[in-house]
């Protein structure tokens, strides 16, 4: 694990102070209702401005510690020893709405650590990318992956061609190698041992689907069925028509032959000649009657319609299929009973993945590391009546092959999207291109959730890094948008690519007058948690004499925006 020599400025506080702060926050979360009663009962402690927040019920449980990012670190993408830079904060808890708003401003989580690249200074700018599942149509290569899965499920066939798997994210180490130094210090300061493991695995999360294609031994059997309303299937693309091409003039063409025609016309001509031979008298009429009856037109039009993603995934299997695949969605935080029951098996898959794909030593992917990075999450579980049946929060999407786990996709279900966090899988099944397959399944899952919850209609794929060839594949899931790093509006990726070909850092919003509409316009309304009390920043700053304090708080406010700054509680020691 690459580590940086120093950590951002927020981590320079003393260990004793950090441990005291962490104990204070943990105690606050356990006794927050009691503190609310105590605080409201003491008139002299009522520091709310009129109309800010009427009661604890209106407060978000999001509690964060912000750390200024002032140093540069080793980049996991281009390997620049001091090129990567990001801002970060530790989330002790967070609502799904707050996290939705944060990722719409370029943030991303790794365990409980939230980070946002400093886009105009980091060596490899990382643009948030989202796919539009409702308009998504699988590409030719996507169909090949689905067809490969179908053949394996139906007949046990193992593809011997090139494995087309790609990473959804690079390894945790590659993604935020420098920030891991910060995490380590935060671990000691905040007395939160989970931190270092969390981020370490977050780094692993990012290189994750970087799977070097390899031919693998035969695998056990995969099944087709599913847990939460969805079935699993592999898709077989429509049968392609073999077209015999005719050479073009100047390239070996025989000019004495008729000019090239469409394959359809050639087939019609052959059939017409054949019918004429069989029935010289009425050959032409026979041809027209047999080949072009009006009743065939609707069927032909239907056959030309492209198959939907669901058609390809859920294509039926024969009764005697060789394998069965089942997909289960289980809540990981707080852990559900199903999650607990499958924890050890899931961990063993993760351990094998890290050792084989990312070359970790056997003692590196520990249970605690796995738990901190892929199981712990700051997101609060929410189950509103108008939300998806499984609720909002953090989940593991488990792929079961003939009764055993072969892959796990870590996802967050948020108010407006499904956000992909990480994928790990049994290396023995890399020939199935599980990175691509799981992404297509997550897109289909988003479409399924949309049926119950209409506003949930996007699939977030993490970061798109145009300057890093291994990360450009995300742009192949179309239609997709990139987030403008200055105005935080979404722009179709087709409009962004020309600029990215010339510059690493780009403002995608073409309106020069446009500004960040969600920027923090009134920092005094930012909510601060200080000495067991919640107060607006306008009150808090009157008690501070450290000039650097204001700079840090204002930087935080600018990065999270006005809405989040008013809802989330910023811990200050």
Q: What is the 3-state secondary structure (H, E, C) of 420-478?
A: EEEEEECHHHHHHCHHHHHHHHHHHHHHHHHHHCCCCCEEEEEEECCCCHHHHHHHHCC
Rounded distance, CA 565 to CA 506, Å? Answer: 26
Compute the average pLDDT of residues 100-120.
96
Report the range of poorest mean pLDDT among 228-242, 390-404, 428-442: 228-242
Nearest CA-CA partner of 89 in 114, 119, 62? 114
Q: And the tokens for 366? A: 């520990």
Alpha-carbon 223 to chain mean position: 25
The continuous run of DSSP H or E covering 146 comes out as: helix 140-155
Q: Are 495 and 113 in contact (CB under 8 A)?
A: no
Q: Please classify residue 101 by burial: count the beta carbons closer than 10 Å to its beta carbon, then call 0-12 exposed, 13-18 middle and 19+ buried.
A: buried
Residue written as token pair 């790794």: 110
Say how far apart CA 453 and CA 413 lie, in whole Å.
11
Give the range among 60-69, 339-348, 530-539 with minimum mean pLDDT: 60-69
Q: Using CA atoms, how far apart are residues 228 and 225, in angstroms rounded to an integer?
A: 10
pLDDT confidence of 546, banded at 50, 70, 90? confident
According to the per-residue pLDDT averaged within each range, which of 189-203, 214-228, 401-415 is highest? 401-415
pLDDT value of residue 45: 37
Q: In which region does residue 107 sit, left (phi positive, over 0), alpha (psi from -120 to 50) or beta (all else)? A: beta
> What is the pairing mode between strands 527-530 and 63-67?
unpaired
Mean pLDDT over 43-48 rounds to: 37
Residue labelled with tokens 């959730």: 449
Across the strands, what pairs with 487? Answer: none
Asked if 86 and 125 touch (Cβ cutoff 8 Å), the reply is no
| Poorest-pLDDT segment among 42-46, 158-162, 270-274 | 42-46
- Tokens representing 411? 């996802």
- Cα(354)–Cα(367) distance, integer angstroms: 12
User: What distance in Å separates the CA atoms of residue 84 and residue 64, rounded to the nearest whole number?
Assistant: 23
Handedness of CA 442, 98, 109, 377 (dihedral sign): negative
pTM: 0.72
State the pLDDT confidence band at 75, using cuts at 50, 70 and 90: confident
> Residue 80: its pLDDT value, please?
86
CA dist list (Å): 416 to 48, 97, 292, 336, 482: 31, 9, 48, 23, 16
Cβ-Cβ contacts under 8 Å for 427 (sequence gap 6 or more): 216, 352, 353, 356, 357
**Stretch 345-371: mean pLDDT:** 95
- Rounded to whole angstroms, the Cα distance separating 443 from 126 reads 21
- Is residue 178 within 8 Å of residue 73, measured between CB atoms? yes
The rounded mean pLDDT for the chain is 76
The reported pLDDT for the residue numbered 274 is: 64
Q: From CA 32, how far away is CA 61, in angstroms rounded?
A: 10
- Residue 564: its pLDDT value, please? 98
Burial (0-12, 13-18, 19+ Cβ within 10 Å), 364: middle
Integer-rounded Cα Rg, in Å, for the chain is: 28
pLDDT at res. 258: 46
Give me the sign of the Cα torsion angle 217, 399, 442, 463.
Answer: negative
- The verdict on whether omega for the bond into residue 479 sits within 30 degrees of 0, i.e. cis, is yes
On whether the CB atoms of residues 179 and 126 are closer than 8 A, the answer is no
Parallel, antiparallel or unpaired: strands 325-333 and 224-226: parallel
Q: What is the pLDDT of residue 272?
A: 65
pLDDT the model gives residue 545: 78
Dig out the tokens for 26 from the structure: 């943990």
Q: How far apart are CA 148 and CA 103, in angstroms?
A: 34
Is-cis flag, bond preceding 533, omega within 30?
no
pLDDT reading at 433 higher than 60: yes
82 versus 99: the higher-pLDDT residue is: 99
Q: Are 402 and 444 in contact (CB under 8 A)?
A: no
> What b/e readout covers 183-216, taking b as 16+ CB neighbours within 10 angstroms?
bbbbbebbbbebbbbbbbbbbbbbbbbbbeeeeb
Residue 329: beta bridge partners? Answer: 397
């Amino acid at each position: 694990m690459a580590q940086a020599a120093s950590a951002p400025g927020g981590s320079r506080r003393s260990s004793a102070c950090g441990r005291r702060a962490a104990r204070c926050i943990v105690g606050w979360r356990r006794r927050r209702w009691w503190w609310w009663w105590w605080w409201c009962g003491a008139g002299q402690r009522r520091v709310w401005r009129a109309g800010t927040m009427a009661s604890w019920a209106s407060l978000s449980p999001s509690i964060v510690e912000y750390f200024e990012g002032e140093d540069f670190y080793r980049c996991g993408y281009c390997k620049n020893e001091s090129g990567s830079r990001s801002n970060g904060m530790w989330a002790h808890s967070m609502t799904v709405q707050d996290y939705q708003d944060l990722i719409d401003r370029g943030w991303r989580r790794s365990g409980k650590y939230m980070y946002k690249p400093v886009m105009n200074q980091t060596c490899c700018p990382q643009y948030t990318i989202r796919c539009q599942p409702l308009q998504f149509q699988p590409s030719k290569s996507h169909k090949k992956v689905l067809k490969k899965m179908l053949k394996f499920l139906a007949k046990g066939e193992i593809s011997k061609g090139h494995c087309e798997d790609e990473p959804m994210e690079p390894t945790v180490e590659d993604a935020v190698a420098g920030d891991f130094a910060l995490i380590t210090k935060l671990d000691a300061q905040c007395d939160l041992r989970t931190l270092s493991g969390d981020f370490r695995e977050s780094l692993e999360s990012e290189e994750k689907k970087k799977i070097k294609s390899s031919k693998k031994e035969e695998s056990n059997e995969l099944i087709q069925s599913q847990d939460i309303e969805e079935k699993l299937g592999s898709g077989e693309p429509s049968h392609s028509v073999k077209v015999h091409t005719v050479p073009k003039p100047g390239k070996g063409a025989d000019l004495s032959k008729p000019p090239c025609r469409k394959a359809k016309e050639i087939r019609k001509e052959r059939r017409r000649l054949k019918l004429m031979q069989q029935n010289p008298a009425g050959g032409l009429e026979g041809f027209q009657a047999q080949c072009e009856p009006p009743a065939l037109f609707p069927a032909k039009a239907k056959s030309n319609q492209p198959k939907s993603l669901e058609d390809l995934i859920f294509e039926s299997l024969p009764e005697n299929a060789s394998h069965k695949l089942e997909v289960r969605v289980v809540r990981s935080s707080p852990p559900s009973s199903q999650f607990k029951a499958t924890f050890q098996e899931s961990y063993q898959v993760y351990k094998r993945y890290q050792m084989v794909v990312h070359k970790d030593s056997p003692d590196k992917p520990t249970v605690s590391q796995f738990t901190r990075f892929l199981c712990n999450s700051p997101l609060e579980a929410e189950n509103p009546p108008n939300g998806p049946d499984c609720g909002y929060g953090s989940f593991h999407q488990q792929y079961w092959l003939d009764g055993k786990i072969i892959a796990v996709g870590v996802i967050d279900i948020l108010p407006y999207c499904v956000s992909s966090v990480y994928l790990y899988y049994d290396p023995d099944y890399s020939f199935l291109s599980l990175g691509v397959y799981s992404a297509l399944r997550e897109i289909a899952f988003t479409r399924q959730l949309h049926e119950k919850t209409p506003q949930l209609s996007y699939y977030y794929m993490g970061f798109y890094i145009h300057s890093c060839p291994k990360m450009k594949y995300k742009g192949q899931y179309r239609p997709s948008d990139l987030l403008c790093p200055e105005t935080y509006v979404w722009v179709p990726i087709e409009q962004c690519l020309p600029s990215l070909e010339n510059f690493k850092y780009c403002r995608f919003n073409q309106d020069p007058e446009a500004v960040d509409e969600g920027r923090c316009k009134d920092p005094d309304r930012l909510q601060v948690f200080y000495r067991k009390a919640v107060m607006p920043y306008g009150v808090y700053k009157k008690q501070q004499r450290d000039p650097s304090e204001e700079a840090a708080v204002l930087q935080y406010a600018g990065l999270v925006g006005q809405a989040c700054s008013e809802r989330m509680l910023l811990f200050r020691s």
